[in-house]
Amino acid sequence: AGNRGPLSRQVRAAAGGERVSVLKTPKVKAGSGAAPVGTGCSPALSPLTAALCLGQGTRDHPPAQAALRDRLLSAVVSCFKRHGAAAIDTPVLELRETLMGKYGEDTKLIYELQDQGGELLALRYDLTVPFARYLAMNKITNMKRYHVAKVYRRDNPATTRGRYREFYQCDFDIAGQFDPMIPDAECLKIVHEILSDLQLGDFVIKVNDRRILNGVFAVCGVPENKFIPACSTVDKLDKVPWEEVRSEMVGEKGLSPEAADRIGEYVQLHGGLDLIEQLLQDPKLSQNKLAKEGLEDMKLLFEYLTLFGITGKISFDLSLARGLDYYTGVIFEAVLLHQENEHVEEPVSVGSVAGGGRYDGLVGMFDPKGRKVPCVGVSIGIERIFSILEQRLEASGEKLRTTETQVLVATPQKHLLAARLKLISELWDAGIKAEMLYKKDPKLLKQLQYCEDTGIPLAAIVGEQELADGVVKLRDVATREEVDIPREKLVDEIRRRLEP
């Protein structure tokens, strides 16, 4: 997708005026910053320090992480805004009842609060169910929204793989009755833009449709009440070989060996428009109404994706099933093929970094009359992307700036605190990002060292001579060049120097 304006603009804004990639610059040398943070309690800690622990699977984000996360979230939000979405916010606390019966067996992972005098509350599990509740409650039938916020799952944390009990979700959804596949295509375009912009390396977006999958089950002789278990077994095909999936189908799920073999012939297929055409000619599948609808929509989707110029990264993959029960149409999932700079022979999947699909029935579950609002949405797996960027940053030895300070106000002699306070106040009032050391008489060397440690590009130095001359000595920290600037021209000169 090449250079996209808003991402770089967004990141530039987040970084305080400099045009930078999410990762590369501005940077300061490693080793100068806040300490890294433990991720939980060691059992050896004394009772005295017990309150120093964090809950399992939760973590603090020290400044370096918070800065990286902010830039990442900004880039994602920037893309969502580019596509015309409005923000909404919903409470972290939902009534327990709102969340029940939406997540299948994962319902056990919901965090429940103690009884608040008759109110049974729980922490939200995702952003999709609250969005559906919001639409139904306000009788909204047409909306394009994004929501970036934390969700909570009492899952077994796997912190090394970026799996936590408290984590961010970044969701974009389009609700409303529209002509088929136009919003669905936009969701895929969004995934493509974000993964391209973040330069995460090569990726593929797998696409399927629940209707096609259900059609396959039907024509292979699976009874309808076994569609969902069959679906969740197929979903494992990206991790285990077909033989294992087949034996689970026949063993645990009770499918006949013949049905399993027939399913196997379909779900191992993947391709593009050619495969869609081939399946539309398939004597069995083309007779199934649902499958035919799904295939025709898939063809339309590919037509739109061709106009968007992104079919190169799209794979129609019949093994894609997605875990959640509420999908009703198109489903998709983006996987990174390998990490940049890893020279591997065969591209290896490092897991899903985005996913989503169409859920036309969820809003109706919240409406007293069951009125449906068709929805399609995408969720960006920001935590996994964050882990990848963090590891990459660590490997590079670079360190992101955690502040945006442009100028340090410094003095070279003693008894000049008043001069510093006066000057820094002028800079703040002019909108310049400025700091000074909180000491009455700091050594000049210490002040300059602070600039180098924290990446401050300029120092504004006022000594007795400068005060007498009505000037300020402006020092470029990197080049060590110093120039006297008339006091009244200082703000303009700082702005000029910091222009991108």
Binding residue ranges for L-histidine:
126-128, 153, 169, 173, 322, 326-327
Binding mask 358-377 toward a second copy (x if CB under 8 A, else -) reads --------x-x---------
> Which position among 11, 22, 72, 174 is part of the footprint of a second copy (CB under 8 A)?
174
Q: Which of 182, 240, 348, 483 binds a second copy (CB under 8 A)?
A: 182
Query: Between 204 and 424, whose beta carbon lies closer to a second copy?
Result: 424
Task: Give yes or no for residue 178 binding a second copy (CB under 8 A).
Answer: yes
Judged by CB under 8 A, which of 103, 304, 326, 332 binds a second copy?
A: 304
Interface residue with a second copy among 24, 29, 30, 34 (CB under 8 A) is 34
Residue 288, φ and ψ in degrees, nearest 5: -90, 125
- Binding residues for a second copy, rule CB under 8 A, total 111
Does 458 interact with a second copy (rule: CB under 8 A)? no
- 53: its two tokens: 């622990």
Query: Residue 118 has what DSSP assignment?
Result: S
**Where in 219-238 is the site for a second copy (CB under 8 A)?**
none
Site for a second copy contains 91 (CB under 8 A): yes
In whole angstroms, the minimum distance from the beta carbon of 138 to a second copy comes to 5
> Is 121 one of the binding residues for a second copy (CB under 8 A)?
yes
Placement of tokens 């799904």 in the chain: 294
Binding part of the chain for a second copy, among 239-247, 301-309, 338-346, 469-477 by CB under 8 A, reads: 301-309
* Using rule CB under 8 A, residue 498 touches a second copy: no
274 binds a second copy (CB under 8 A): no
Q: Which of 429, 468, 481, 499 binds a second copy (CB under 8 A)?
A: 429
The least CB distance from residue 351 to a second copy, in Å, is 24
Q: Is 499 in the site for a second copy (CB under 8 A)?
A: no
Q: Which H helix or E strand runs over 215?
A: helix 210-219
Residue 208 to residue 186: CA distance in whole angstroms = 16
Residue 430 binds a second copy (CB under 8 A): yes
Q: Rule CB under 8 A: is residue 439 a binding residue for a second copy?
A: yes
Q: Spell out, one character per residue from 134 to 163, where the chain touches a second copy: x when CB under 8 A holds, - when not.
A: x-xxxxx--xxx----x-x-x---------
Q: What is 446-486 written as a DSSP string?
A: HHHHHHHHHT--EEEE--HHHHHHTEEEEEETTT--EEEEE
Rounded to a whole number of angstroms, the minimum distance from the CB of residue 425 to a second copy is 5
Q: What span, in angstroms and rounded, lies between the C-alpha atoms of 169 and 148? A: 6
Residue 168 identity (one-letter amino acid)? Y
The H or E element spanning position 28 is: strand 27-29
385-390: long-range contacts, CB 8 A cutoff, minimum separation 24: 385/72, 385/198, 385/200, 385/353, 386/68, 386/69, 386/72, 386/162, 387/161, 387/162, 388/200, 388/336, 388/339, 388/350, 389/22, 389/23, 389/68, 389/72, 389/198, 390/65, 390/68
Structure tokens, 480: 């060590």
Smallest distance, Å, CB 423 to a second copy? 10
* Among the listed residues 185, 170, 154, the one whose alpha carbon sits nearest the alpha carbon of residue 70: 170
List the one residue out of 447, 456, 449 whose CA is nearest residue 406. Answer: 456
By CB under 8 A, tell whether 30 contacts a second copy: no
- Find out whether the peptide bond into 26 is cis, omega within 30 degrees of 0: yes
Question: Cβ closer to a second copy: 89 or 244?
Answer: 89
CB of residue 320 vs a second copy: minimum separation in angstroms?
24
Task: Select the residue interacting with a second copy from 19, 25, 30, 86 (CB under 8 A).
Answer: 86
Is residue 221 a contact partner of residue 338, using CB atoms and an 8 Å limit? no
Structure tokens that stand for 368 in this block: 């007293």
CA distances from 166 to 52, 55, 128, 156, 489 (A): 18, 10, 16, 11, 49
Q: Specify the residue, 39 or 286, whose C-beta has the smaller distance to a second copy.
A: 39
From residue 56 to residue 75, what is the string marking binding to a second copy with x (rule CB under 8 A)?
Answer: x-xxxxxx-xxx-xx-----
For 419, list phi and psi in degrees, rounded to 5. Answer: -65, -40
Distance CA 320, CA 213 (A): 9
Between 114 and 341, CB nearer to a second copy: 114
Q: How far is the CB of 247 from a second copy (least distance, A)?
A: 33
User: Least distance to a second copy from the beta carbon of 421, Å?
Assistant: 4
Stretch that binds a second copy, among 83-91, 248-256, 383-391, 471-479 (CB under 8 A): 83-91
